[in-house]
Amino acid sequence: MRKLPNTVRTPGLIQILHWILSPMGQMEACAKRYGDIFTLNLMRPVVFVSNPQALQQILTSDTKEFEAPSDWNTVFEPMLGKNSVITLSGEAHRRQRQLLMPPFHGDRMKVYGQVMSQVTEEVMSQWQIDKPFSVRNAMQAIALRVIMQAVFGLYNSDRAEEIEKTLCLLLDERENTPIRVLQLYFPALQKDLGPQSPWGKFLRNRAKAHQLLQEEIQERREQPDASRTDILSLLMAATDEDGQPMTDEELRDELMTLLIAGHETTATGLTWAIYWIHKLPEVKEKLQAELDSLSDLTDYSTLLKLPYLNAVCCETLRIYPVGMLTFPRVVKTPVSMCGYDLKPGTILLGSIYLTHQREDLYPEPKLFKPERFLERQFSPYEYLPFGGGVRRCIGTAFAQFEMKVVLATILSQLDLALVTKNDIKPKRRGLVTGPHRPIEMAVISPHQV
């Protein structure tokens, strides 16, 4: 009986460094050598899986043969706290998910559509003809303001602005160094060496964010308003089976989770989409023709169903998925997978990146071809940018909707161009991925149909 599948033999420290610096390159090299399943030693052996049947096995029975523990999600704890749906597991995770899911249900999306277009227009109004701007910064501003409105309701206040600013500092691109990534994986390195040290800066920004969120919670407890339907109000009114409401600390951690998971990922997806659309003239032409044929951009049900816009968004999240992996699953009872017998305790990661790069599913996988999504349908285990099973992304409908509304709003009003047409590659950005260098664009002219 073979124990762990295709164990990589390079010294452990080299594997960890490679993982920190170039996770996608490392996964690709291993897949080339070993195929659909292999084991890396990242402090503990971790089995990487990119075979759709095996992914189906993991994600469809992940409460019976597998579990989604929280101890491997501790890398998220410094940022999101220990009461976040991401860092909880078992029954506590299930309960918290139930509380969080309703505001993200597909039916509620139309409520957010107007906010999404309005915020996009606000940010676009700052762009000037021929003056380059950073796409990522612009998309981050849009996505952050949108999630702020969804979470806190439609309001502009000094506190909202302060929260936005503090979250931007927490996620500042310039702080995203290999040292910061190492600190996330190795808690022993999380040392506060003063306000200018990487961890010191992070702790101070986080304390500021916590203080602002606590003030908001406090104010709402003191002045309850039953007419509000924003996510924070829904969470504050929710109670568990014993009739207990969420504590301030629980509320704070869930707010951090929604605000951070809810905007960084979508902003990166949008940045890539804008890059590809303007990099490839034939893609731009087809998409523009489809959008120009739409008489009413606020007819969100029609917008959502536009086939080419949908294919562009799908291909964007296929080629360089923002989340390159599912959260870990652990084997609970002995299972057989890809010809290997896996023992209880084995840690598995679904490699979204490698699955999306499979030649057998996506011929010429390095090419951006939205047509793939018009020509065939992919199963949820062949195409899984939002993961699957008990930890499937709760923001799936929200993010897909937001990408479409923002792209349609921009393309229907402005003609943009990339400042340089050089290729942009994906790289690690903390625990997710993003473009390896800033992408700059400029407005050429208002769009005319």
Binding-site ranges for ligand HEM (CB under 6 A): 85-86, 97, 147, 257-258, 261-262, 265-266, 269, 317, 322-323, 326-327, 385-389, 391-395, 398-399
The distance of closest approach from Cβ of residue 342 to ligand HEM in the complex, given in angstroms and rounded to an integer, is: 18
Instruction: Report the DSSP beta bridge partners of residue 47.
Output: 39, 348
Q: Quick one: CA dihedral 136, 141, 145, 151, positive or negative?
A: positive
The distance of closest approach from Cβ of residue 399 to ligand HEM in the complex, given in angstroms and rounded to an integer, is: 4
Look up residue 366 and give its amino acid: K
Count of other CB atoms within 10 angstroms of residue 345: 10
> Which is nearer to ligand HEM, 23 or 262 (by Cβ)?
262
Angstrom distance (rounded) from CA 111 to CA 118: 12
The distance of closest approach from Cβ of residue 68 to ligand HEM in the complex, given in angstroms and rounded to an integer, is: 7
Sequence-separated (6 or more) residues with CB below 8 Å from residue 386: 323, 392, 393, 395, 396, 399
The distance of closest approach from Cβ of residue 310 to ligand HEM in the complex, given in angstroms and rounded to an integer, is: 14
The distance of closest approach from Cβ of residue 84 to ligand HEM in the complex, given in angstroms and rounded to an integer, is: 8
The distance of closest approach from Cβ of residue 296 to ligand HEM in the complex, given in angstroms and rounded to an integer, is: 25
> Which is nearer to ligand HEM, 246 or 443 (by Cβ)?
246
CB–CB of 167/147 below 8 Å? no
Angstrom distance (rounded) from CA 11 to CA 4: 17
Q: Which of these, 273, 295, 294, lies nearest to 284 by C-alpha position?
A: 273
> Which is nearer to ligand HEM, 318 or 369 (by Cβ)?
318
> Which is nearer to ligand HEM, 201 or 357 (by Cβ)?
357
CB–CB of 246/234 below 8 Å? no
Look up residue 376 and give its amino acid: R
> Which is nearer to ligand HEM, 23 or 389 (by Cβ)?
389
CB–CB of 177/198 below 8 Å? yes
> Which is nearer to ligand HEM, 323 or 370 (by Cβ)?
323
Per DSSP, the three-state class of 294 is: coil
The distance of closest approach from Cβ of residue 388 to ligand HEM in the complex, given in angstroms and rounded to an integer, is: 5
The distance of closest approach from Cβ of residue 264 to ligand HEM in the complex, given in angstroms and rounded to an integer, is: 8
Angstrom distance (rounded) from CA 269 to CA 115: 19
> Which is nearer to ligand HEM, 51 or 326 (by Cβ)?
326
What are the C-alpha distances in Å from 256 to residues 44, 85, 304, 363, 377? 29, 11, 28, 39, 35
Sequence-separated (6 or more) residues with CB below 8 Å from residue 18: 10, 25, 26
Q: Which two tokens stand for residue 119?
A: 């915020």
The distance of closest approach from Cβ of residue 52 to ligand HEM in the complex, given in angstroms and rounded to an integer, is: 14
The distance of closest approach from Cβ of residue 402 to ligand HEM in the complex, given in angstroms and rounded to an integer, is: 7
> Which is nearer to ligand HEM, 66 or 362 (by Cβ)?
66
The distance of closest approach from Cβ of residue 412 to ligand HEM in the complex, given in angstroms and rounded to an integer, is: 21
Q: Which of these, 364, 420, 358, lies nearest to 384 by C-alpha position?
A: 358
> Which is nearer to ligand HEM, 8 or 109 (by Cβ)?
109
Sequence-separated (6 or more) residues with CB below 8 Å from residue 261: 80, 86, 395
Sequence-separated (6 or more) residues with CB below 8 Å from residue 212: 159, 162, 163, 166
- Return the ∠ at Cα 393 (arms to 382 and 336), rounded to 5°: 50
Indicate the helix (H) or strand (E) that contains 330. strand 329-331
Instruction: Report the DSSP beta bridge partners of residue 41.
Output: 45
> Which is nearer to ligand HEM, 39 or 400 (by Cβ)?
400
> Which is nearer to ligand HEM, 198 or 323 (by Cβ)?
323
> Which is nearer to ligand HEM, 184 or 443 (by Cβ)?
184
- How many helices (H) and strands (E) are present in the chain, helices listed first? 19, 12
Sequence-separated (6 or more) residues with CB below 8 Å from residue 405: 113, 116, 117, 120, 300, 303
The distance of closest approach from Cβ of residue 42 to ligand HEM in the complex, given in angstroms and rounded to an integer, is: 17
